[in-house]
């Protein structure tokens, strides 16, 4: 029997590439995003190329209880989710006192609340079967605070802490929870977060969505708890542990600013 992966934010970037990788590996898919037309295009492409079944759900996951609606829909269709990939998320740029609360509230709802609710709902089913894997997309931003992207960095710190804790709780069940921590990635995130011109994305060669997705898939299948993509990202994350926090915050401000 084929396994099924549910991927949020599957219409673009890392989520789209993860959908392709899972299809190549013979997994059925539930693809979730706001843009239903892009999901339908991806469904047609992957079903034609690979012998897999794909179900798409168009929904705004920043709306309260949207994760529950997705869970109820997959349950009503008797779709068992073997791999849950909480990839959907977004960021915003600017000083906190100048940015939009409405946008930040949506960010918290998506990056934290929807991810947590998805994990809660599908993990219960996985525990009852003693099988399943979850991957929550965090970031190298999880390891320090981030001036000019204060809320985004804080949401990703939550994802890392939450994922590590839940992974420990289910360690006796055979289920694994992986926190994927990519660094800056050419994925479309930079334009949606208004980061063009930031030192984060200029003056250096960055990995693309496909490269990060390939690493992510292998890390999840191996059951890694914290998966940091890229050698330099691993070095930077390790260095944060030994530097004064005030210095780390200043260095992060230097990198994020335009």
Strands (E), 75-185: 83-86, 133-137, 176-181
Closest CA to 32 of 91, 117, 101: 117
Q: Are 175 and 130 in contact (CB under 8 A)?
A: yes
93 is catalytic: no
**Which of 83, 122, 152, 217 is flagged as catalytic?**
152
Give the torsion sign (CA, 144, 61, 6, 12). negative
Q: Are 108 and 149 in contact (CB under 8 A)?
A: no
Token pair for 167? 């992974």
Percentage helix, strand, coil for the chain under 3-state DSSP, each rounded to 5: 50, 15, 35
Q: Which residue pairs from 223-226 have beta carbons closer than 8 angstroms and sit at least 24 positions apart in sequence?
A: 223/133, 223/176, 223/178, 224/176, 224/178, 225/163, 225/164, 225/167, 225/176, 225/177, 225/178, 225/179, 226/160, 226/163, 226/164, 226/178, 226/179, 226/181
CA atoms within 13 A on the CB side of 60: 6
> Can you tell me the distance from the alpha carbon of 112 to that of 43, in angstroms, rounded to the nearest whole number?
27
> Can you tell me the distance from the alpha carbon of 123 to that of 131, in angstroms, rounded to the nearest whole number?
9
- Return the active site residues: 152
């Amino acid at each position: 029997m084929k396994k099924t992966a549910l991927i949020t934010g599957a219409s673009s970037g890392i989520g789209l590439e993860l959908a392709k990788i899972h299809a190549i590996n013979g997994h059925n898919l539930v693809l979730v995003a706001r843009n239903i037309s892009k999901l339908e295009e991806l469904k047609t492409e992957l079903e034609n190329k690979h012998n897999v079944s794909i179900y798409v759900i168009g929904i705004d996951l920043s709306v309260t209880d949207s994760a529950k609606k997705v869970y109820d829909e997959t349950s009503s269709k008797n779709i068992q989710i073997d791999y849950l990939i909480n990839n959907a998320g977004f960021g915003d740029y600017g000083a906190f006192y100048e940015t939009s609360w409405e946008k930040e509230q949506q960010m918290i709802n998506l990056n934290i609340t929807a991810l947590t609710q998805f994990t809660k709902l599908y993990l219960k089913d996985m525990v009852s079967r003693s099988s399943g894997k979850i991957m929550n997309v965090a970031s190298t931003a999880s390891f320090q605070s981030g001036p000019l992207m204060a809320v985004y960095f804080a949401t990703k710190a939550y994802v890392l802490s939450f994922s590590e804790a839940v992974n420990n709780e289910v360690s006796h069940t055979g289920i694994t929870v992986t926190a994927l921590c990519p660094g800056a990635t050419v994925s479309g995130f930079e334009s949606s977060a208004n980061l063009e011109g930031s030192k984060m994305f200029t003056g250096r060669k960055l990995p693309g969505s496909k490269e990060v997705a390939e690493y992510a898939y292998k890390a999840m299948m191996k059951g890694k708890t914290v998966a940091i993509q890229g050698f330099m990202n691993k070095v930077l994350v390790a260095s944060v542990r030994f530097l004064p926090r005030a210095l780390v915050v200043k260095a992060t401000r230097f990198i994020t600013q335009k």
